[in-house]
């Protein structure tokens, strides 16, 4: 973790620098806030600590971002990076940061360098965000670099697939109403949950989410969940999506008991397919 030297020559942790910076002109150091309980009825048991990250902190690897992580430092946690879609900012995926951190993950949600970045560019930035979270963030002391996941909405969902295709160490991916020009994702080995919206006119499921699921020929496990709704059916997540995303990452990144299958059915679900039963990959 980054350290700074004061005049006396002693090393001062980042959090102490943050307190000093708040008194002096709010110095540009990524500062962790006090722990808080995540909001919403689907929040997990952990209090969440939040660290704001600037593009300068990230050395230009991505835009601004936020690291959220459990306040309990007694163990290591899986690490997830999340990207928004075309024209959107970090706030689109921020609810997933709160949700997943409260369930025991280190999560970094990012702004991309420009709102028009392509899925491939977003994928590279997600990989840089994972590097930052595991190596340099305030959560680095509890972030397990062997258990990595990616999530994204729209072009960010395409970015999540690009990231998983480039880094075989990624163990779980969740593209939400994803968009990309590629259909063949045979290089993605990570267990992947694809979420689509039946009424999506931006990225119709027949051309994107459903086609992407079929193109995941190399994935160890995969699932397709189509919901009644449009391009934003999973942002922000409702109870059904929250439970399924937490279960997916919990199973493949944390070795949580139980299984994320069978996928939910009934109200709000128009179609689902999967490769159940899933094998545990999380520990």
Residues forming the active site: 154, 200, 231
- Longest Cα pair distance anywhere in the chain, in angstroms? 65
Write the DSSP string, 56-97: TTTTTSSSSEEEEEES--SS-EEEEEEE--TT--GGGTHHHH
CA dihedral sign, ordered 155, 161, 164, 165:
negative
The closest of 269, 56, 245, 42 to 153, measured between CA atoms, is: 245
Q: CB burial class (10 A; 0-12, 13-18, 19+) of residue 273?
A: middle
Q: In the beta sheet, which residues pair with residue 105?
A: 78
Residue whose entry in the numeric block shows the structure tokens 């069978």:
262
Cβ pair 4, 11 in contact under 8 A: yes
């Amino acid at each position: 973790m980054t350290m700074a030297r004061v005049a006396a020559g002693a090393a001062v942790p980042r959090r102490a620098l943050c307190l000093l910076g708040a008194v002096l002109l709010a110095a540009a150091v990524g500062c962790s806030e006090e722990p808080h309980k995540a909001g919403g009825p689907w929040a997990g048991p952990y209090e969440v600590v939040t660290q704001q990250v600037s593009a300068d902190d990230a050395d230009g690897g991505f835009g601004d971002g936020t690291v959220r992580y459990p306040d309990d430092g007694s163990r290591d946690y899986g690490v997830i990076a999340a990207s928004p879609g075309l024209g959107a900012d970090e706030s689109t995926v921020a609810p997933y940061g709160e949700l997943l951190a409260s369930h025991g993950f280190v999560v970094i949600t990012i702004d991309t360098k420009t709102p028009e970045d392509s899925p491939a560019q977003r994928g590279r930035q997600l990989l840089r965000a994972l590097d930052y979270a595991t190596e340099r963030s305030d959560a680095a002391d509890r972030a397990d670099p062997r258990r990595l996941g990616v999530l994204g909405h729209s072009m960010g969902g395409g970015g999540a697939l690009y990231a998983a295709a480039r880094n075989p160490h990624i163990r779980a991916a969740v593209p939400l109403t994803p968009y990309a020009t590629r259909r063949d994702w045979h290089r993605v080995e990570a267990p992947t949950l694809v979420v689509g919206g039946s009424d999506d006119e931006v990225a119709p499921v027949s051309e994107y989410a459903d086609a992407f699921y079929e193109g995941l020929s190399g994935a160890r496990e995969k699932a397709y969940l189509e919901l009644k709704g449009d391009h934003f059916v999973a942002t922000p997540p409702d109870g059904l999506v929250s439970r399924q995303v937490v279960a997916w990452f919990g199973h493949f990144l944390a070795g949580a008991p139980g299984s994320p299958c069978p996928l939910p059915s009934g109200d709000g679900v128009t179609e689902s397919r999967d490769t159940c039963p899933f094998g545990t990959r999380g520990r």
